Structure 1
Amino acid sequence: MARPRKPLLSRERIVDAASALVDAEGLEAVSTRRLAAGLGVSGPSLYNHFRNKDEILDAVADTVSAQVDLSMFEDGRDWRTALHDWAVSYRAALRAHPNIVPVLAQGPGRRPAGLRLADAVFGAMVEAGWPPAQATHIGALMRYFITGSALGSFAGGFVDDEAAYNPADYPHLGQAHLLAERRQQVDEGAFETGLKALIDGLAVQYEQLARA
């Protein structure tokens, strides 16, 4: 009886395996040796598809960028609504894969999906009437804000031990021990508050440009 053939190694299989490893254990867990072992192939066979570990992580990062919805820049939404809806989609993608955020925070490099994302945001802002320099600043500002919000949890940074917040030392942190259990509510609320403040501030600048 013929032995079952192993699935052919492909970029997609390598990226899927690396993505699962990053999600489960973080960036430091990824090595070409470990990936090859998990895929049931020899280490050198990976180099037929990627030159090194960094290229693999770039590909993993790009699969996350590809999950971000960009349709709001093409369906007639005004720039404020489009920017808000895109930011929510972008953050959702990063929150689903927080361990890859440090790679994404370095910028798009040569990654196709990352470059399409940057192109869509910049193009939409310019088409809305923002000068190119300001459109660049908006893209940078939004990336700082969104990636920063996905790197960690504000609420999760507080312990749920009431004794840790002695009122003699921290008179305003009497309820801080409750933050951890309300992590999602606090973090989502903070993101929406910050996003609204950013877009409202940009709207003021936009009106000033129109009057200039």
Structure 2
Amino acid sequence: MARPHKPLLSRERIVETAGSLVDAEGVEAVSTRRLAAELGVSGPSLYHHFRTKDEILEAVADSVQAEVDLSMFDERATAHPGDWSWDTALHAWGVAYRATLTAHPHIVPVLAKGPGRRPAGLRVADAVFGAMVRAGWPPAQATSIGALMRYFITGSALGSFALGFVDDQAAYDPADYPHLGQAHLLAERQEQVDERAFETGLRAIIDGLRVQFEATASPRM
């Protein structure tokens, strides 16, 4: 029998299949046995590409982070101060990053641990830090900005404020909760509520950073 033109298994196929499982059912759905069944291969064959389930999940996390738009931090974009500003870029990246994470919510806890050795995660950190330093932020503060943004964006994607309230008006007795008379409506407006909250927080962060920048940063020539 002729050999197949393409190998039955590759890192890319494993990551893609594992990513689909995570998106549909969560990280708990990923096991070597389940992946092998989904891929139509024997379980041990996975170990030619990944040693552990955690390595697979790290690769899935990296594939998700690779989807994040970083074009606003490209050195060619930041080379012309009149056409680029760090605050506008930071806002655009924050929106893009959250959109990617909310499209893959089940992998967010893995991403929340930090980039580790993941190439795409390190590229994100490098792009943000480099752009902030080129804009005139001292390196220590540029590091803090990257950390602050990761905390805020990751946290916003870990759960929904609106979905934390039940769709039952009786749960909010005005005698006990006089200001929650409309709380039962939050769940049905989840996307609007959560996106507005994220935008409010993002703008507050960037407005505060502008004040710090004027006081401490060294604008580039």
- What TM-score results when the alignment is normalised by the length of structure 2? 0.92
Matched, 1:154 2:165: no
Q: Which runs of 4+ in 1 moved over 6 A?
A: none
Task: Answer whether contact 2:137 2:217 (CA < 8 A) is retained.
Answer: no
Over residues 86-106 of structure 1, what are the superposed CA-to-partner deviations in whole Å (9 max), with x where a residue is unaligned?
Answer: 011100010000000000000
Matched, 1:82 2:106: no
Q: 5 Å matches for 1:128-143?
A: 128-143=135-150
Matched, 1:187 2:194: yes
Task: Answer whether contact 2:67 2:100 (CA < 8 A) is retained.
Answer: yes
Check 1:40–1:210 CA distance in 2 against 1; reply closer, same or farther (3 A cut).
closer
| Distance in 2, Cα, partners of 1:73 & 1:45 | 40
Over residues 181-204 of structure 1, what are the superposed CA-to-partner deviations in whole Å (9 max), with x where a residue is unaligned?
Answer: 111110000000000000000000
Which structure has more relative contact order (CA 8 Å, sep 6+)? It is 2
Matched, 1:92 2:91: no
Matched, 1:61 2:61: yes
Task: Answer whether contact 2:69 2:93 (CA < 8 A) is retained.
Answer: yes
The counterpart of 1:177, out of the listed 184, 191, 216, is 184
Q: 5 Å matches for 1:1-212?
A: 8-74=8-74, 75-76=77-78, 77-210=84-217
Over residues 58-81 of structure 1, what are the superposed CA-to-partner deviations in whole Å (9 max), with x where a residue is unaligned?
Answer: 110001110000001122421000
The unaligned stretches of length 5 or more in structure 1 are none
The unaligned stretches of length 5 or more in structure 2 are 79-83
How far residue 210 of structure 1 moved from its aligned partner, in angstroms, is 4.5
Percent identity, aligned pairs only, is 79
How far residue 37 of structure 1 moved from its aligned partner, in angstroms, is 1.2
| Distance in 2, Cα, partners of 1:129 & 1:203 | 12
Over residues 152-188 of structure 1, what are the superposed CA-to-partner deviations in whole Å (9 max), with x where a residue is unaligned?
Answer: 1000111111111000000000010110111111000
How far residue 8 of structure 1 moved from its aligned partner, in angstroms, is 1.7
Check 1:4–1:175 CA distance in 2 against 1; reply closer, same or farther (3 A cut).
farther
| Distance in 2, Cα, partners of 1:118 & 1:26 | 26
Compare 140-149 and 23-32 and name the one that shifted more.
23-32
| Distance in 2, Cα, partners of 1:167 & 1:8 | 62
How far residue 33 of structure 1 moved from its aligned partner, in angstroms, is 1.2
Q: Number of paired residues?
A: 210
- Residue type at the aligned position of 1:113: A
Task: Answer whether contact 2:156 2:198 (CA < 8 A) is retained.
Answer: yes
Over residues 116-164 of structure 1, what are the superposed CA-to-partner deviations in whole Å (9 max), with x where a residue is unaligned?
Answer: 0000000000111111110010000000000000001000111111111
